[in-house]
Amino acid sequence: MKAAVLWERRTPLKIEEIDLADLEPGDARVKIQASGVCHSDLHHINRETPFKPPLILGHEGAGVVEAVGPGVTSVQPGDRVTIMFGSKCGNCHFCNTGEDYLCTTPLPGYPRFIRKEERFTQLLGVGSFAEYVNVSASNLVKVPEELPIECAALLACGVTTGLGATTSTVNVKPGDTVAVIGVGGVGMNVVQGAALAGASRVIAVDLVERKLELAQQFGATHLVNAGDTDAVQEIKNLTHGRGADYVFEVIGRPETIKQAYDAARNGGTAVVVGLGASDEEVGFNLGELMRSGKAIQGCFYGSVRPHADIPRYIDLYLDGRIKIDQLISRRFKLEQVNEAFDALKAGEVARGVIMYE
Ligand code: CND
Ligand code: ZN
């Protein structure tokens, strides 16, 4: 089968013929049908991360179960599924207390992608830039026939992270003021999550006009082009001079995380959704941090319980309450994966999706 391999950081992916290992107990094999291209994948190309090349990227995948390994009863061949990333063991302290996005069980140590003696790293236990994957069956959420498969793929990361950020990581309430710095594939979903939760102001901040226009369709009430104006001041101007109740940073840069903190009102919360580099830090004035009563909140995977929350998001989609199709700006073949990354880098797409035969 074909897979896109990152052989070396900061080089283009190469399409290779590789194999899957036999199914281990608890694993299922999924024929991938769609895989979104998230900025986190790009971070793994450009930055040093714990996932070492040769690496198969892709963590926003969906498809059909092809086969199941020993002991698997939760899914069966033919089921349409979206694939959660990271560990979801169902047994650790965090899984048992409903915080399974914090699951501490290491990803399986055995190889799943192989070619003779070669072993390939599987990003976040998924690696959906491949025609087939072996994954933990406990990471699969079944999706209904009516849900287009590319929408199922986006529910594996961008949609779920963004919606969850507003109502699982924090609790946006009717009338709250919200700003979202960075309205790409994930940030756009923070915008629609905040609108759905009843925020009175949803201020979208980006550098790309097209993204801002789309954000308006996703429920943004005010648009701020950070290239033209001081985003922090503008957010304050739009929130009675106080700053917003919640400011979400969905880029992953120290400067914009600091902006999110500065643009939050006293007692408000800066929510860090963007993935910064592991060697980067942000400084805060300690006197101000204490006196302002502000909170800085990390957000991984929208703090969701995927098995409980993704079916709720699917219902919202099927009832026309959230948009997913409109996020997909372009579709690519697996062979065009590098073009998909170029389009993401250039800010041309809200989400690009790789579609498989
Ligand atoms: P994408 O590239 O689609 O969006 C980023 C947006 O930020 C783009 O629209 C840019 O134009 C905009 N932008 C860049 N610089 C600035 C700036 N200085 N001011 C305002 N806007 C700016 O990326 P994505 O939406 O796929 O991912 C966004 C981040 O979220 C990224 O860091 C990714 O790694 C992270 C993420 C986190 C999680 C999680 O679990 N927390 C899950 N998936 C992705
Ligand atoms: Zn992602």
> What is the per-residue pLDDT across 340-350, written as a single tens digit (0 to 9) for each?
999 999 999 99
Long-range contacts of 277-283 (CB under 8 A, 24+ apart): 277/43, 277/47, 277/252, 278/47, 278/48, 278/49, 280/253, 280/254, 281/254, 282/254, 282/257, 282/258, 283/258
What is d(CA 159, CA 73) in angstroms, rounded to the nearest whole number?
27
Q: Count CB-CB contacts under 10 A for residue 155.
A: 30
- Please state the CATH superfamily assignment of the domain spanning residues 2-148+324-355 in this structure: Medium-chain alcohol dehydrogenases, catalytic domain (3.90.180.10)
Does residue 38 line the site of ligand 1, with CB under 6 A? yes
In CATH terms, the fold of domain 162-300 is Rossmann fold (3.40.50)
CA of 292 to the centre of ligand 2 (A): 32
Q: Which pLDDT band holds residue 85 (cuts at 50, 70, 90)?
A: very high
Report which residue type is found at 98. Answer: G
- How do residues 259-292 score in pLDDT, each as one tens digit? 999 999 999 999 999 999 989 999 999 999 999 9
Query: CA 170, 175, 180: angle at the middle one, nearest 5?
Result: 55
65, 20 Cβ separation under 8 angstroms: no
What size, in residues, is the chain?
A: 357
Tell me what the mean pLDDT of segment 39-53 comes to.
95
Per-domain boundaries in the chain: 2-148+324-355, 162-300
Query: Is a pLDDT exceeding 90 seen at residue 301?
Result: yes
Question: What are the two backbone dihedrals, phi and then psi, of residue 135, each rounded to the nearest 5 degrees?
Answer: -140, 165
From the CA of 223, which ligand is nearest? 1
Query: Is a pLDDT exceeding 90 seen at residue 73?
Result: yes
From the CA of 346, which ligand is nearest? 1
Task: Tally the C-alpha atoms within 13 A of residue 251's C-alpha that lie toward its C-beta.
Answer: 21
355, 34 Cβ separation under 8 angstroms: yes
Q: What was the pLDDT predicted at 120?
A: 98
- How do residues 5-23 score in pLDDT, each as one tens digit? 999 999 999 999 999 999 9
Ligand 2 ion: Cβ-proximal residues, 5 Å cutoff: 38, 40, 157
Q: Which pLDDT band holds residue 46 (cuts at 50, 70, 90)?
A: very high
The reply to whether 162-300 shares the fold of 2-148+324-355 is no
- How do residues 86-112 score in pLDDT, each as one tens digit? 998 888 999 999 898 999 899 999 999
Query: Is a pLDDT exceeding 90 seen at residue 335?
Result: yes
Q: What was the pLDDT predicted at 90?
A: 86
Mutate to test the pocket of ligand 1, among 88, 211, 234, 250 (most ligand atoms within 8 A of CB): 250
Task: Give the three-class secondary structure for 323.
Answer: coil
CA of 181 to the centre of ligand 1 (A): 9
Tell me what the mean pLDDT of segment 40-68 comes to.
96
Q: What was the pLDDT predicted at 232?
A: 98
Which residue matches tokens 């087939």?
132
From the CA of 252, which ligand is nearest? 1
Does residue 156 line the site of ligand 1, with CB under 6 A? no
Query: Which atom of ligand 1 has the smallest separation from the CA of 158?
Result: 43
Q: Which pLDDT band holds residue 256 (cuts at 50, 70, 90)?
A: very high
Tell me what the mean pLDDT of segment 132-144 comes to.
97
Give nearest CA residue, ligand 1 atom 36: 274
The DSSP call for residue 108 is P
- Residue 266 burial by CB count (10 A; 0-12/13-18/19+): exposed, middle or buried? exposed
Query: Is a pLDDT exceeding 90 seen at residue 357?
Result: no
Q: What was the pLDDT predicted at 93?
A: 94
Residues above pLDDT 70, as percent of the chain: 100
Task: Give the three-class secondary structure for 193.
Answer: helix
Question: What are the two backbone dihedrals, phi and then psi, of residue 179, each rounded to the nearest 5 degrees?
Answer: -125, 145
Mutate to test the pocket of ligand 1, among 40, 249, 253 (most ligand atoms within 8 A of CB): 40
Give nearest CA residue, ligand 1 atom 44: 40
